[in-house]
């Protein structure tokens, strides 16, 4: 579908910009995704102009009908985009004017592309966050579901990637639940930074018409207009908040994926990933690679790069609007896409994972994971000072390594050799579940404490 190629700002100029200038200036190649929010904001602006008498009711009716047609054409892929018209805002207005004539030229009265693009990106970011919120809650619900099923399953806790102590699988999973729950809290804070409407700020000093900014703010779902029009068009703090949110979200995603990749390896074997979240090798038929987890881990660097790019872009920019800010949408749209993929990707991994308790128990045994329990037993039952008890437990591990034994296979004679006296451990002492039950305190891996965590987490999800 054709549309006029004349710049909407052509009046001051005698000749067209060069092709390279046009190529550098265009943003339609990426900002076309804003068309729905741009039309939504334009409708609110036009309705307000009619209310305050700047345009007639007949003008508004024509604009409303024309914008509906423009939106339908873009949605159907019938509106051809051109670098000559630079951005989505000029495409919408240009096509509107083709449809309804000179009345379409009245739409931009009392606004600038400065406040227009600001309100569009506010709306677009807010909608993305609302979508992310639902995806994040679905992820939290899945983690909680798996944790509830893992209340009696033994898992392994690591420090320095070395076997440390046995924990419940539920406890391990809940560590990620609480990390992602903080992302939900930060998401709500980020939404709050989008509560002001920039529409009506015009280029920077406000409009030369009796506009009603409170009216457009209310219609578009904002709490109120920005209190300062210069700040409204220059501000990108809400995008910084968004990028930091995505970056921190991906730090948690990346750590989860790192665990998954390691635990899925043959050497560990703690988890098995299903076909839905793995891929094969082009040359090695036996391979079943955790590519999705690896790609999500890699995206953590990508979104961090978007945050750093915006920070660098904003540094030193004078007030108010500068064309440098056109680049903000490149970072924003990419991070929104990555956030969507990350949240859905982790949910898919958790929907296609099997936890291998037998392999975990074997590694806990060969990793001498109950050494601390031995030291604590000597302190508690025999009154041995902890440092001395620690040495006995360490000697026991050394003895096992030299003699090809495990802690649970040591005999009474072995213990007398190790400790210099008879030691008698209760039946079942070396069962990892017994060790887990001995942990104490709120937030511990003790089954009762874990159950309390699950109850608290379920309540958290209800309240959010």
Active site includes 193? Answer: no
Q: Which of 29, 265, 281, 351 is catalytic?
A: 281
Q: What is the pLDDT of residue 2?
A: 43
Class of 114-153+172-355 per CATH? mainly alpha
- Contact (CB, 8 A) for 193 and 182: no
Active site includes 281? Answer: yes
Q: What is the pLDDT of residue 11?
A: 63
Q: What is the pLDDT of residue 375?
A: 97
What digits encode the pLDDT tens for the residues 304-316? 999 999 999 999 9
As a whole number of angstroms, the distance between CA 372 and CA 362 comes to 18
For residue 79, whether the previous peptide bond is cis, meaning omega lies within 30 degrees of 0, is no
The torsion angles phi and psi of 271, rounded to 5 degrees, stand at: -130, 160
Q: What is the pLDDT of residue 3?
A: 47
Q: How is domain 362-463 classified at the architecture level of CATH?
A: Orthogonal Bundle (1.10)
Give domain limits for the chain: 10-109, 114-153+172-355, 362-463
Please list, in sequence order, all residues whose beta carbon lies within 8 angstroms of the beta carbon of residue 134, skipping any fewer than 6 positions away: none
Q: What is the pLDDT of residue 218?
A: 98
Write b or e for each residue in 21-52: b if 16 or more Cβ atoms lie within 10 A of its Cβ, otherwise e. Answer: ebeeebbbebbbebbbbbbbbbbbbbbbbbee
Q: How many CA atoms lie within 13 A of 219 on its CB side?
A: 17
The torsion angles phi and psi of 291, rounded to 5 degrees, stand at: -60, -35
Q: Which of 2, 160, 282, 413 is catalytic?
A: 160
Q: What is the pLDDT of residue 88?
A: 98
What digits encode the pLDDT tens for the residues 418-456? 999 999 999 999 999 999 999 999 999 999 999 999 999
Q: What is the pLDDT of residue 16?
A: 82
Q: How is domain 10-109 classified at the architecture level of CATH?
A: Orthogonal Bundle (1.10)
pLDDT in tens, the chain (464 residues): 544 455 555 566 677 889 999 899 999 999 999 999 999 999 999 999 999 999 999 999 999 999 999 999 999 999 999 999 999 999 999 999 999 999 999 999 999 999 999 999 999 999 999 999 999 999 999 999 999 999 999 999 999 999 999 999 999 999 999 999 999 999 999 999 999 999 999 999 999 999 999 999 999 999 999 999 999 999 999 999 999 999 999 999 999 999 999 999 999 999 999 999 999 988 998 999 999 999 999 999 999 999 999 999 999 999 999 999 999 999 999 999 999 999 999 999 999 999 999 999 999 999 999 999 999 999 999 899 999 999 999 999 999 999 999 999 999 999 999 999 999 999 999 999 999 999 999 999 999 999 999 999 999 999 99
Angle between helical axes of 57-75 and 35-51 (0-180°, round to 10): 180
């Amino acid at each position: 579908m054709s549309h006029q190629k004349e710049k909407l700002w052509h009046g001051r100029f005698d000749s067209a910009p060069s092709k390279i200038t046009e190529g550098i200036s265009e943003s339609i190649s990426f900002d076309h995704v804003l068309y729905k929010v741009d039309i939504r904001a334009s409708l609110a602006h036009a309705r307000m102009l009619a209310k305050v008498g700047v345009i007639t009711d007949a003008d508004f009716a024509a604009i409303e009908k024309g914008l509906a047609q423009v939106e339908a054409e873009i949605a159907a892929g019938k509106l051809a985009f051109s670098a000559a018209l630079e951005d989505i805002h000029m495409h919408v207005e240009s096509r509107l004017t083709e449809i309804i004539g000179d009345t379409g030229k009245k739409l931009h009265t009392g606004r600038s592309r400065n406040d227009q693009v600001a309100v569009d990106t506010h709306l677009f970011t807010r909608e993305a966050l609302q979508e992310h919120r639902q995806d994040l809650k679905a992820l939290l619900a899945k983690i909680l579901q798996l944790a509830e099923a893992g209340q009696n399953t033994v898992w392994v806790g690591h420090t320095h990637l070395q076997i440390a102590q046995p924990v419940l699988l539920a406890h391990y999973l809940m560590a990620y639940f609480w990390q992602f729950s903080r992302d939900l809290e930060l998401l709500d804070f980020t939404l709050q930074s989008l509560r002001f409407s920039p529409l009506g700020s015009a280029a920077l000093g406000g409009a030369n018409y009796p506009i009603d900014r409170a009216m457009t703010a209310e219609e578009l779902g904002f709490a109120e207009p920005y209190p300062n029009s210069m700040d409204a068009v220059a501000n990108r703090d809400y995008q910084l908040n968004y990028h930091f949110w995505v970056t921190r979200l991906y730090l948690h995603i990346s750590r989860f994926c790192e665990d998954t990749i390691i635990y899925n390896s043959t050497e560990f074997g703690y988890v098995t990933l299903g076909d839905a979240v793995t891929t094969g090798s082009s040359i090695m038929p036996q391979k079943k690679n955790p590519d999705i987890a690896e790609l999500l881990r890699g995206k953590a660097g990508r979104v961090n790069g978007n945050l750093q790019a915006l920070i660098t872009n904003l540094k030193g920019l004078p007030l108010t609007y500068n064309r440098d800010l056109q680049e903000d949408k490149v970072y924003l749209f990419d991070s929104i896409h990555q956030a969507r993929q990350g949240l859905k990707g982790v949910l898919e991994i958790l929907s296609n994972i099997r936890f291998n308790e037998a392999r975990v128990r074997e590694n806990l045994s060969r990793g001498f994971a109950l050494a601390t329990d031995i030291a604590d037993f000597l302190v508690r039952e025999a009154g041995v000072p902890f440092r001395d008890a620690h040495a006995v437990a360490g000697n026991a591990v050394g003895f096992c390594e030299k003699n090809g034994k495990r802690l649970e296979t040591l005999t009474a004679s072995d213990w007398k050799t190790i400790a210099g006296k008879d030691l008698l451990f209760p039946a079942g002492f070396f069962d990892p579940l017994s060790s887990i039950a001995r942990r104490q305190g709120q937030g511990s891996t003790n089954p009762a404490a874990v159950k309390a965590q699950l109850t608290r987490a379920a309540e958290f999800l209800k309240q959010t």
